[in-house]
Amino acid sequence: MIELFTADTPNGKKITIMLEEIGCDFKVTKIDLSKDEQFKKDFKKISPFGKIPVITDHENGQSLFESGAILIYLAEKHNKFYEAKDRHTINQWLMAQMGIIGPMIGQHHQFHHYNPGKSEFGEERYFKITKRIYSELDERLSSSKYLAGDDYTIADIATWPWIARHEWHDIGLKNYKNLSSWYIDISKREAVIKGYQFMNKKEFPPQP
């Protein structure tokens, strides 16, 4: 059984979606970020940087932090969404999410959604970067059904929850035909809906 320490964020939803996709038995231990529970001593024993999500696999006592590492671990263990023949491509798109898509869109959230009016430079910078990310993803999906090729993989699972906050971005997902189609296609998956709703059963992925 997997114990998931998490909060209702895109990084958290990556893992609940993955756990639902692989049909894994799991329980959620909620970490209240507003109360700085992620910085408590016991939590930092399994998450040195005080970040969610973290999993503990109670079958073997293994704990992992960093959402990309967790996705790879679960994919390898269950032999799903991480085909050996495609791993170099999957890894590139997964690392792009971890290093570019998530951090840059996350900064857009901070300046545009949470703290508007505090930094014109920050708002303009990360709006432009997020808009460029939309364009680059749209271009990739013009020639590929999914990010790493013809198959749905952990690269898609990692990226989709960030685009699921498109209403916060004020960029207009519907203006990006290929990205929008990819997003809608994934949002219809039963496991994605269940994983998205892990903290609120009445919440559904917002449509373009």
Backbone dihedral region for residue 141 (phi beyond 0: left; psi -120 to 50: alpha; all else: beta): alpha
pLDDT at 201: 81
Specify the domain boundaries for CATH 1.20.1050.10 within the chain.
Answer: 84-189
Domain 2-81, CATH number (from 3.40.50.10890, 2.170.190.11, 3.40.50.10900, 3.40.30.10): 3.40.30.10
Q: Are strands 26-30 and 2-6 parallel, antiparallel or unpaired?
A: parallel
- Nearest Cα neighbor of 78 from 8, 26, 136, 149 is 26
pLDDT at 119: 96
Residue 200 has pLDDT above 90, yes or no: no
Q: pLDDT tier at 92 (50, 70, 90 boundaries)? A: very high
Residue 71 has pLDDT above 90, yes or no: yes
Give the pLDDT mean for 72-76. Answer: 98
pTM: 0.96
pLDDT tens-digit series, residues 142-192: 999 999 999 999 999 999 999 999 999 999 999 999 999 999 999 999 999
- Nearest Cα neighbor of 37 from 5, 3, 69, 63 is 5
Give the pLDDT mean for 82-92. Answer: 96
pLDDT at 125: 97
Specify the domain boundaries for CATH 3.40.30.10 within the chain.
Answer: 2-81
Mean pLDDT, the chain, integer: 96
Residue 199 has pLDDT above 90, yes or no: no
Domain 84-189, CATH number (from 2.60.120.260, 1.10.10.10, 1.20.1050.10, 1.10.3720.10): 1.20.1050.10
User: Is the CB of residue 25 less than 8 Å from the CB of residue 55?
Assistant: no
SS3 110: helix
Distant-in-sequence, close-in-space partners of 80: CB < 8 Å, separation ≥ 6: 21, 22
User: Is the CB of residue 50 less than 8 Å from the CB of residue 39?
Assistant: yes
pLDDT at 202: 83
Q: Rounded distance, CA 135 to CA 156, Å?
A: 16
